[in-house]
Chain A
Amino acid sequence: MKGKIKLRPGFAAAMLFPFVFGAVLMLLLGYDPVEAYRELFKGAFVGNFNLGTTLEKFCPIFLTALAYCVTSKVKYFNMGVEGCFYLGALFSAGAGFLIQGLPWYIHIPICFLCGTLVGAVWAAIPGALRAYLNVNELCAALLMNYVAIHFANFMIAGPWSAKGASSQTAPIEKSAELLRIMKPSRANVGLFMALFLYAAIFWMFRRTKLGYRLNATGTNSYFTDYVGVDAKRMVLLATILSGAIGGFAGSIQTMGVYGTIIDGFSNNTAFDGMLASLIANNSFAQLPIYSFLIAALKSGALGMERFTGVPKALIDTLIPILILLLNMEGLFDFKHLRKRRKKKIAEIGKEGA
């Protein structure tokens, strides 16, 4: 329940290995790995634009990771964040260009409200099905993603289309746009909102009755029911919260990054978020680190591809390897293995004596 960051033996090895593996792949493909990794690093961190792009990518990955993490606390494997993310983006875009003539301090909250609410409702459907009818949440939520994505695409191409060359909605009103930071990148104040939301939820889980009950549900639902808390309701609540965060993340994309909503804008953002949460072992404390790592890899890969020709798909292969290895960290626990072997040798020696 309380994730502590500590330097674990084998951790560095697990972190390093995918990059070594990537280097070998690059060599086999005829690229220079040193050059490629240098560009990767530069592409992620050096310069306002690059660092800003990393932060821009960080924000939705981080929030969707948070959304995933919230439901993981009640042992609910939420594959449906992507759908909420899409709908959140769509509805805040709708509110962004359909409503006109409002001052920003009213318009922005309204857009957020639309995105957040629709995300919450959307996530509540598989949540309720799982909590009360024991429907497999993986299936339900995953399938609902497609409904959400295709519905969004339909709205983008049809009723809400800007009728331009590319498939996108009309640009949202200036009054609904979030302030950009670190120009010329598209990083925006949504980042601070995300960090604030993260802190609030982290705190909620540690310090409030609701947090206690949600934690109890995830660690032992029998206990939760027995002490008189409705575990099913807690599961539903967590999914609603998760969906709301997913929708909120979508709203930030619309209002801060694109200013509109473009067909296929997400490109599995929520799944990257899910991966970040999985690497972090669903620990709130570690979420920012791994979300940032993935964001940096994603944004650096762009630069790498541009300047060295190494396909950025290579980086996308490294991320799952990284996850696998971090989850099997024990493999790299050489020190521990050596100790065990020593102990065994000592034991055998004793028996021989």
Chain B
Amino acid sequence: MTLLPYIKLDHIVKQFGSVKAVDDCSIEVRKGEIFSLIGENGAGKSTMMKLLYGIHRPDQGLIQLDGQTLEDLTPQKAIACGIGMVHQEFMLVKEFTVLENIILGFEPKGPMGRIDFAAAREKVQRYIDDYSLDVQPDKLVQNISVGEAQRVEIIKTLYRGANVLILDEPTAVLTPGETKQFFDILRSMRDDGKTIIFISHKLHEVLEISDRIGVMRRGKYMATLDRPEATAEKLVNLMVGRNVEMSDRPSPCHPGPVVLEVQDLEVLGQRWLSTIKKVSFHLCAGEILGVAGVDGNGQSELVDAICGLRPILAGSVKLTGREMAGKKAGQLRKAGLAHIPEDRNTRGLNKEFTINENLVAIHLEEVSRGELLDRKKIAQKGKELIEKYDIRPADGELKAGTLSGGNAQKIVVAREIESGGKLLIAAQPTRGVDIGAIESIRGYLNRAKEQGVAVLLISADLDEIIALSDRIIVLHEGRISGELPGGDVDMERLGLLMTGGKSDEG
């Protein structure tokens, strides 16, 4: 490893409208290191890396690779320079095989312009062997797991000749076991001379994998730390400018009567993996029940079915003793259901509507006289919730689509918690949200629990499940593979239940 900077982002400024996403940041990355970029959501990490990959152009500043200034960078040019990026959302064609996806756009040509699949396969196989990546080239992408899809993305960038890999929150979709394996892959690539830039907001991962760590906060570059001098507290301080209290144990729980009872529920899913097969559980007032599991094991289907947004094949869902299977979302809401959906962008919010209009969406009766909406009441209710939940900017007339992830999510949380429901379903309530907002949203969930609301918490973030849940059930392949008490959770057992009892697969 040389100490000279290999990649140099020099005094970069990038503005979106009136927002300075990146404000005079300079980053230097050395050749052959794993460099982590950490910061809250909206700190500018992704923007910075998109600048390096040529998706955006900097307003000011220079980008240098190996001493050469890269001008007018586009993703094509970046790829030609050996820079590759794996995005948060995978960019794969589901109907194609893994191999076809990898070579898409860069197909080796054989005679008569035909694609030389043999050569492609050989090349791809080399990467698979070199870094012992568990990937089956002939599988259709729609049949592979998230972890495998990610490895496919990595091979794709390597195949295109990347020496520098930018990974945008790659571990967000992985199980603990998969993450561990993923880190092994990263290390072996680094040892092979690849330069890796790892974007994350998970402290322990960054501390585990990095050679050096760069911290960003609100568009500013705070500092670069060598791994030995970095500690969790130091990083958190740099990231948020204050010590965030990571309460990682649930508050005391005094469960009341059963609010939600699910019996032998069967729901058809997108895939077999996510089809709900005879699931039963119950949830009491004043209790948080965590549903752990790797994404795509039936969590979405379970939530949708309970909320009346997806047909139920068989089984029963009882809300405070009343049978609710087959009822529509409107009826369920009247019966006391509140729901923070996993996808705020499609379900949770109407981005064309203002903040106020979104906040009153389920309180329409409250803010109208007869059929007539009362604008004053809407504004008043909006103002009240904006203040109480610290939604910024605090202007209820702004369109919801203009808000950052964290504040947008606060709109959803505020509306649902204030609905006065007896059952609150919180699906991925803090996904894609900055640390400050995560803390406050978790606080709201805890407060709801203390007020006697039954909370069903579905999260891919194990830290979150552990920090909040009084009991934990684990979904695996559409079944409940086990139940654990909250508090001091046996991580090993949880990991095993999440992966179906087998030791780390694939």
Q: Hey, which bits of chain A sit against chain B, CB under 8 A?
A: 1, 207-212, 215-216, 219-220, 222-230, 351
Contact = CB atoms under 8 A, between A and B. Distances in A.
A1 B400 CA distance: 13
5 contacts: A209-B373, A223-B346, A225-B329, A227-B333, A227-B361
A212 B364 contact: yes
A219 B368 contact: no
Nearest to B329: A228
Contacts of B349: 220, 223
B347 A222 contact: yes
A4 to B, nearest CB: 14
B352 A219 contact: yes
Contacts of A230: 328, 330
B309 interface: yes
A207 B332 contact: no
A211 B341 CA distance: 24
A208 B353 contact: no
Contacts of A210: 371
A48 B373 CA distance: 42
A233 to B, nearest CB: 10
A292 to B, nearest CB: 28
Interface of B: 71, 307, 309, 328-334, 339, 341, 346-353, 357, 361-362, 364, 368, 371-373, 375
Contacts of A228: 328-334, 362
B347 A226 contact: yes
Contacts of A224: 350
B350 A223 contact: yes
B357 A212 contact: yes
Contacts of B362: 227-228
A210 B334 CA distance: 18
Contact of B346 (A209, A211, A216, A220): A220
B350 A229 contact: no
B371 A219 contact: no
A219 B330 contact: no
A220 B368 contact: no
B346 A222 contact: yes
Given A226-B309, A226-B339, A228-B333, A1 B371 contact: no
A103 to B, nearest CB: 32
Contacts of B329: 225-228
A220 B361 CA distance: 12
What 5 A-B pairs come out closest when comparing CB atoms? A228-B330, A219-B352, A228-B333, A226-B347, A220-B350
A13 to B, nearest CB: 26
A220 B352 contact: yes
Nearest to A216: B350
Contacts of A351: 71
A228 B365 CA distance: 13
Contacts of B350: 216, 219-220, 223-224
B351 A209 contact: no
A1 B352 contact: yes
A157 B331 CA distance: 51
B309 A225 contact: yes
Nearest to B368: A209
Given A227-B362, A228-B332, A220 B371 contact: no
Contacts of B331: 228
Given A219-B353, A228-B330, 15 more contacts: A1-B352, A208-B371, A209-B364, A209-B372, A219-B350, A222-B346, A222-B347, A223-B346, A224-B350, A225-B329, A227-B329, A228-B328, A228-B331, A228-B334, A230-B330
B347 A208 contact: no
A53 B379 CA distance: 46
Contacts of A215: 352-353
B350 to A, nearest CB: 4
Contacts of A222: 346-347
B330 A208 contact: no
A219 B371 CA distance: 21
Contacts of B375: 207
A212 B373 contact: yes
A212 B332 CA distance: 21
A1 B397 CA distance: 13
Nearest to B304: A226
A1 B372 CA distance: 18
Contact of B348 (A207, A216, A226, A229): A226
A1 B353 contact: yes
Contacts of B357: 212
A227 B328 CA distance: 11
Contacts of A223: 346-350, 361
Contacts of A212: 357, 364, 373
Contacts of A219: 350-353
Contacts of B348: 223, 226
Contacts of B368: 208-209
A226 B348 CA distance: 7
Contacts of B71: 351
A216 B373 contact: no
Given A220-B350, A225-B329, A228-B333, A209 B361 contact: no
A216 B361 contact: yes
A228 B357 CA distance: 15
B331 to A, nearest CB: 8
Contacts of B339: 226
Nearest to A219: B352
A216 B348 CA distance: 12
A203 B254 CA distance: 50
Contacts of B373: 207-209, 211-212
A222 B330 CA distance: 13
A100 B375 CA distance: 48
A336 B329 CA distance: 46
A164 B502 CA distance: 88
B57 to A, nearest CB: 8
A207 B378 CA distance: 11
A351 B60 CA distance: 9
A224 B332 CA distance: 14
Contacts of B346: 220, 222-223
A209 B368 CA distance: 8
A207 B352 CA distance: 16
A209 B372 CA distance: 6
Given A212-B364, A219-B353, A226 B371 contact: no
B109 to A, nearest CB: 36
Nearest to B71: A351
Contacts of A207: 372-373, 375
Residue from the set A1, A226, A228 with the largest chain B CB neighbour count within 10 Å = A226
Residue from the set B350, B351, B353, B375 with the largest chain A CB neighbour count within 10 Å = B350
A212 B357 CA distance: 9
Contact of B330 (A209, A211, A229): A229
A77 to B, nearest CB: 18
Residue from the set B307, B334, B371, B375 with the largest chain A CB neighbour count within 10 Å = B371
A1 B356 CA distance: 14
Nearest to A226: B347
Contacts of B332: 228
